[in-house]
Amino acid sequence: MGRFGTDGIRGEVGSEVTVDLAVRLGHAVGERLAGPGGRVVLGRDPRRSGEMLGAALAAGLAATGTDVLDLGIVTTPCLVHASAQERVAAGVMVSASHNPAPDNGLKVVVGGRKADARVEVELERLIAVDGERHTRMNHELGRVREDRSMIDAYRRSLVDAAGDAFTGLRMAIDCANGSASAIAPDLFRSLGAKVTVLFDAPDGTNINEGCGSTHPERLAETVAAAGLDIGFAFDGDADRLIAADETGTLVDGDAIMGICALDRLASGRLRNNLLVTTVMSNGGLERVVTQAGGRMVRTPVGDRHVFEAMEREDAVLGGEQSGHIIFRDRSSTGDGLLSAIELVRSVRASGERLSELVSRIPRLPQVVINSAVARRDAWREDTEFVAAIERATDRMGERGRVLVRPSGTEPKIRIMVEGDDAGEIDEIARELATLAEARLN
């Protein structure tokens, strides 16, 4: 199995993500993507292991003659933005995103987007080569220096996107003790908002711990208790967003995309009238977008699949229920800060409260069962199980849908049934789960 997953290399530091691996990756990126005189931007989130891994990457890059522009602690979208600048060959972000602090990750980006599968295969091959890696002579080595100017350029792009939408807004933000801590509070205050800040004191070990987009409960409580207009929770590297409306009710990626899609449809700014989501997005989102004159294309789970479909279909809005949302007319990656800005612009344009807009995005009842099976990748080969899925799909018709997919990390298959009748979908999901455990073990 290769080291690169759907979002770069990620795992526990010390066992799966090591100094040796970081040096090897740095050397591979230098050899394959940059080389003597080339430039690579480097960034990290505040995990304790980030300094070590960043130094190792820089060493590997410099050994190939590649110059390193170290941005320090930045969000992943900022690193991606910097990688798209002229005369930058690539970027490497040291972050495990929403994972706990003991994990870390190494993500390679080229030209403002994730390295494609072909590049990752080549990097994998170079990483795997045994033996000493070539280090150039002293006068040929790359230089490593800090460069904050690219962070300023990214920040200016957000200010331009926001306009005056935040003037007078009373809001709370949860920085997840992560990268957002370094930019979000000052950014939103500079836009004219009154900002209450939570979890903005990273110490290297508390990133995502009981906070951020995976644990937004404290944010919701704060917004409701203080009578604020809105709240935003980011994840560790700030590429995801979960919001809270003025009542403290959480607003997920589906609702955020729905609000922004309807706003853009009404104003003629949703290119090709198209929204791209994954198979996990709720059917209620598709219904409301379709009824408003738009259409929705679904992809497999993963933001890479979403972005590829957006390029293929020439769409400008897409994302995942988890809050990883891409506004392709402004960015080539999911960006929690930009998503917050776009959501506020849509709310302000409507003249209504966020809760009122959310109420127009229906949510169909949905049951998800994770069935423990020994043969998670073999379910398509079991004719009896496949036939049961087909019968369930026919039974639901246009009233809902059935989705079965293997877990990417556990010996399980995930069975999701969605429809108007909560009792019916629960019955179907349990029948399929029972059959799966009987047939696939």
In the chain, what are the domains? 9-147 (3.40.120.10), 153-250 (3.40.120.10), 252-336+351-358 (3.40.120.10), 366-439 (3.30.310.50)
Which DSSP helix (H) or strand (E) runs through 127?
helix 117-128
* 346 pLDDT above the threshold of 60: yes
Alpha-carbon span 297 to 277, nearest angstrom: 6
Which DSSP helix (H) or strand (E) runs through 387?
helix 383-396
Q: Once rounded to an integer, what is the mean pLDDT over residues 346-352?
A: 97
Alpha-carbon span 409 to 103, nearest angstrom: 15
What's residue 376's pLDDT? 81
Which DSSP helix (H) or strand (E) runs through 242?
strand 241-244
Confidence of residue 409 (pLDDT cuts 50, 70, 90): low
pTM score of the predicted model: 0.92
Structure tokens given for 131: 């033996």
Cα–Cα nearest to 95, from 218, 239, 217, 225: 239
SS3 300: coil
SS3 96: coil
CB-CB contact of 146 with 205 (8 Å): no
What's residue 408's pLDDT? 66
Alpha-carbon span 137 to 114, nearest angstrom: 31
Q: Once rounded to an integer, what is the mean pLDDT over residues 338-351?
A: 98
123-170 pLDDT, tens digit per residue, is 999 999 988 899 999 999 999 999 889 999 999 999 999 999 999 999
Across all residues in the chain, what is the average pLDDT? 95
* 375 pLDDT above the threshold of 90: no
3-state helix vs strand vs coil in the chain, percent to 5: 45, 20, 35
Query: Which one-letter amino acid corresponds to residue 309?
Result: A
Tallying the residues shown for the chain, one arrives at 441
CA dihedral of residues 426, 323, 252, 246 (deg, nearest 10): 170
Alpha-carbon span 44 to 48, nearest angstrom: 10
CB-CB contact of 45 with 95 (8 Å): yes
Name the more confident of 199 and 304: 199
Supply the residues annotated as catalytic.
Answer: 97
* 421 pLDDT above the threshold of 50: yes
* 100 pLDDT above the threshold of 50: yes
Q: Could you give the C-alpha distances from 109 to 79, 93, 94, 152, in angstroms and in order?
A: 8, 8, 11, 19
Alpha-carbon dihedral sign for residues 185, 188, 190, 193: negative
Alpha-carbon span 58 to 40, nearest angstrom: 9
Cα–Cα nearest to 216, from 168, 249, 189, 178: 249
Q: Which of 2-6, 15-19, 126-130 has the lowest mean pLDDT?
A: 2-6
Residues 6 or more apart whose Cβ sits within 8 Å of residue 7: 97, 105, 107, 114, 302, 303, 304
Angle at 333 between CA 328 and CA 338, to 5 degrees: 75
SS3 388: helix
SS3 322: coil
Structure tokens given for 26: 């740095």
Name 417's bridge partners: 367, 402
What's residue 233's pLDDT? 98
Percent of residues, the chain, with pLDDT higher than 70: 99
* 374 pLDDT above the threshold of 70: yes
SS3 254: helix
What's residue 6's pLDDT? 75
Q: Once rounded to an integer, what is the mean pLDDT over residues 365-387?
A: 89
Q: Once rounded to an integer, what is the mean pLDDT over residues 190-197?
A: 98
Confidence of residue 1 (pLDDT cuts 50, 70, 90): very low
Q: Could you give the C-alpha distances from 53 to 43, 95, 110, 431, 436, in angstroms and in order?
A: 10, 10, 20, 47, 42
In 111-220, where do the E strands start and end? 113-114, 144-146, 170-174, 194-198
Query: Which one-letter amino acid corresponds to residue 58?
Result: A
Cα–Cα nearest to 407, from 305, 301, 308: 301
Structure tokens given for 420: 């108007």
Cα–Cα nearest to 265, from 287, 283, 245, 289: 289
